[in-house]
Structure 1
Amino acid sequence: MSLVFDMALVAGLIALALHVVVTRDGRGAILAFMAFGLLLGIGWARLASVDVALTEAAIGGGLTGMLLLRAQAHLVRHAAHPAALPTDRRRWLVPALSCGLVTLALAAVVLAFPRPAPSLAHQAVASLEATGLGNPVTAVLLAYRAIDTLLEKIVLILALVGVWSLSRDAAWGGASQLRPAIIPEPLVFLARVMPPFGVLIAVYQVWVGADLPGGTFQAGTILAAMALLVMLAGLRLAPQTQSRALRLMLAGGPALFVLVGFLGVAVAQGFLSYPEAIAKPLIVGIEAALTLSIAGTLALLVAGPPDRAPEP
């Protein structure tokens, strides 16, 4: 039964991928892409990569799909005569052959991996006690390669600044205008019911992430999705980009990360080195602050640049 389930999962992924590529219906392609992300999350779970599965479901099956739906709705509103896709099948021959060759090359590389595959998992697990954590993935992200994680969060902030820079001069400092028509009317009911559960799940993800699969990015994505659902349903307006509270939330996570990093210089072995006695509380505190920062950043990236003038 396990083999049958895996074969059905692979067949579903291939079918959805082909549908996304072939279909001429933009909205249908986006919905198929979101379904592909959810199925791919199940695939990662089958490979015992639960953290990757949660991230894929949240990003690939959730937030990215919402971003694409918003972009598609914007194009439909502003494109009076959408360009027709080329009908000459020969135009697709070179891309199709290129994709096939890349697929075969990747398959050859995967099949050439040594068995058993080289891994640093046992070193990561062996050093867990020093961090006070039970989840080796969290230890890798927040301790062993913390500088990479810090830079990733800073890149997110810079991406948001880039999006905001696309706004008209008169709208700078204002807010985006998320129109309720972007989502079907029945989802307004979900926008009233789901956020409390989403917040609870996000808090749980952060709390258990220190010892079990979960963590900051997954929790932040869930919070971002709840915020977008509320804004798209018209229950709340998008926040003003000039809001000090908003900017503090966005910068607070990376700022706390950097502050703890310099604390390591003073009392531990170096930058982003945690004192062993309080390593776990510091990491959990960083994760909590980063969750809010990631949630705000992702939600505002999807919302787009301000197109409403700032309030006086």
Structure 2
Amino acid sequence: MSLFWSISLLFDIALVAGLIALALHVVVTRDGRGAILAFIAFGLLLGIGWARLASVDVALTEAAIGGGLTGMLLLRAHAHLARHAAPPPPVAPEPRRWLVPAIACGLVTLALTAVVLAFPQPAPSLAHQAVASLETTGLGNPVTAVLLAYRAIDTLLEKIVLILALVGVWSLSRDAAWGGASQLQPAVVPEPLVFLARVLPPFGVLIAVYEVWVGADLPGGTFQAGTILAAMALLVMLAGLRPAPPTQARALRVMLAGGPALFVLVGFLGVAVAQGFLSYPEAIAKPLIVGIEAALTLSIAGTLALLVAGPPDRAPEP
């Protein structure tokens, strides 16, 4: 075995060990903040794991959504509970409290391992069919083709679910604050945060535009780009450089609904000029898909940023 493969194997073993250790820490620790930070680290390591499996699109999404944005949502929720809820009483650890879940997890792990090992070789896959039909879409990235062409209805419903989740968060606001803005800026803003909020957004916007543009042919796409834009927006709001937008702003609502609305409009266009709903005319399939991705990126960015910002807590200005 060559030195390169030996180092690669050792890296993979260390990566798996780190994932298992972080997962156990998330489950076992009673420190909420520590568990969330371990969960964020777990998401980042899991992204590296997907990259090692040559699934770059999944790796980018896992690092951005699974680790970064979800972790920030959990940190916000933890801080909110710490301010408004009494701490739980200390409970002495009992073997029965963790023994049964541990046995159940072990059995599930063994069952899943047996199922994976029972797969035929090579494992069943639709990858060849997905690649074979790429020419009809004009795309070079089969993942984008699956999300925006072959299974476009699933992607459309996912974006609608995101909007509904945001409406659910907004509904938690007080009646007097409905239509207002969230308060994200801390009482004291650290100077390094202000510096980062001034320096990073231009690079973040550039990377997001690149992710959307190359996503048609290379790893990238709307969720990754939207998450980057959402992170830049949150950074600016946390630093106090810009306030959170009022949720009743018409431009904001147009941006949020614009992506799914364009998706639906193009879908009905397919009824008239192609084979059916969400079918694309072959001659203009790629421009339509790239246009949908651009609109969805803005919608996803706004939705994710406002989900993290939470429900409005300031009354709208008259």
Please indicate the TM-score interval, normalised by the length of the shorter structure.
over 0.9
- Provide the residue aligned with 1:245 in structure 2: 251
Whole-Å separation in 2 of the counterparts to 1:241 and 1:157: 13
Worse-matched range after superposition: 285-294 or 231-240: 231-240
CA 1:286/1:171 → structure 2, altered by over 3 Å: closer, same or farther? same
* Structure 1 position 113, deviation (Å): 1.3
CA 1:187/1:23 → structure 2, altered by over 3 Å: closer, same or farther? farther
CA contact (8 A) 2:26 2:39 kept: yes
Worse-matched range after superposition: 20-29 or 113-122: 20-29
CA 1:54/1:286 → structure 2, altered by over 3 Å: closer, same or farther? same
Worse-matched range after superposition: 20-29 or 199-208: 20-29
Sequence identity (%):
91
C-alpha RMSD of matched pairs (Å): 1.5
SS of the equivalent of 1:133 reads coil
CA 1:188/1:82 → structure 2, altered by over 3 Å: closer, same or farther? farther
- Provide the residue aligned with 1:230 in structure 2: 236
User: What CA deviation, in whole Å up to 9, does each residue of 1:28-52 have, x standing for no partner?
Assistant: 2211111111110010011111100
Whole-Å separation in 1 of the counterparts to 2:188 and 2:148: 37
Whole-Å separation in 2 of the counterparts to 1:258 and 1:289: 12
* Structure 1 position 300, deviation (Å): 0.8
CA 1:183/1:12 → structure 2, altered by over 3 Å: closer, same or farther? farther
CA 1:234/1:11 → structure 2, altered by over 3 Å: closer, same or farther? same
Q: Which residue, 256, 259, 269 being the options, matches 1:263?
A: 269
User: What CA deviation, in whole Å up to 9, does each residue of 1:116-171 have, x standing for no partner?
Assistant: 00111111111111111000000011011111111111111111111111111111
SS of the equivalent of 2:180 reads coil
Worse-matched range after superposition: 223-232 or 254-263: 223-232
- Provide the residue aligned with 2:209 in structure 1: 203
* Structure 1 position 183, deviation (Å): 8.2
Whole-Å separation in 2 of the counterparts to 1:177 and 1:86: 38
Whole-Å separation in 1 of the counterparts to 2:230 and 2:269: 30
Worse-matched range after superposition: 62-71 or 99-108: 99-108
CA contact (8 A) 1:250 1:297 kept: yes
* Structure 1 position 194, deviation (Å): 1.2
* Structure 1 position 289, deviation (Å): 0.0
CA 1:36/1:7 → structure 2, altered by over 3 Å: closer, same or farther? same
The answer for unaligned runs of 5 or more in structure 2 is 1-6
CA 1:195/1:115 → structure 2, altered by over 3 Å: closer, same or farther? same
**1:89 is the counterpart of 2:103:** no
CA 1:148/1:195 → structure 2, altered by over 3 Å: closer, same or farther? same
Whole-Å separation in 1 of the counterparts to 2:46 and 2:160: 28
* Structure 1 position 185, deviation (Å): 5.6
CA contact (8 A) 1:262 1:272 kept: yes
CA contact (8 A) 2:189 2:240 kept: no
CA contact (8 A) 2:208 2:224 kept: yes
* Structure 1 position 234, deviation (Å): 2.0
User: What CA deviation, in whole Å up to 9, does each residue of 1:56-109 have, x standing for no partner?
Assistant: 000122101111111122122223544334422321222222222222211111
Aligned length: 312
CA contact (8 A) 2:144 2:221 kept: yes
CA 1:68/1:132 → structure 2, altered by over 3 Å: closer, same or farther? same
CA 1:125/1:199 → structure 2, altered by over 3 Å: closer, same or farther? same
CA contact (8 A) 2:163 2:303 kept: yes
CA contact (8 A) 1:249 1:293 kept: yes
CA contact (8 A) 2:134 2:145 kept: yes
SS of the equivalent of 2:121 reads coil
CA contact (8 A) 1:73 1:182 kept: no
SS of the equivalent of 1:182 reads coil
SS of the equivalent of 2:113 reads helix
User: What CA deviation, in whole Å up to 9, does each residue of 1:175-224 have, x standing for no partner?
Assistant: 11113259866333222211111111110000000000000111111111
* Structure 1 position 22, deviation (Å): 2.1
CA contact (8 A) 1:174 1:308 kept: yes
- Provide the residue aligned with 1:16 in structure 2: 22
- Provide the residue aligned with 1:45 in structure 2: 51
Whole-Å separation in 1 of the counterparts to 2:89 and 2:242: 35
Matches within 5 A, 1:157-236: 157-180=163-186, 186-236=192-242
The answer for unaligned runs of 5 or more in structure 1 is none
SS of the equivalent of 2:191 reads coil
Whole-Å separation in 1 of the counterparts to 2:143 and 2:190: 38
CA contact (8 A) 1:70 1:182 kept: no
Worse-matched range after superposition: 34-43 or 173-182: 173-182
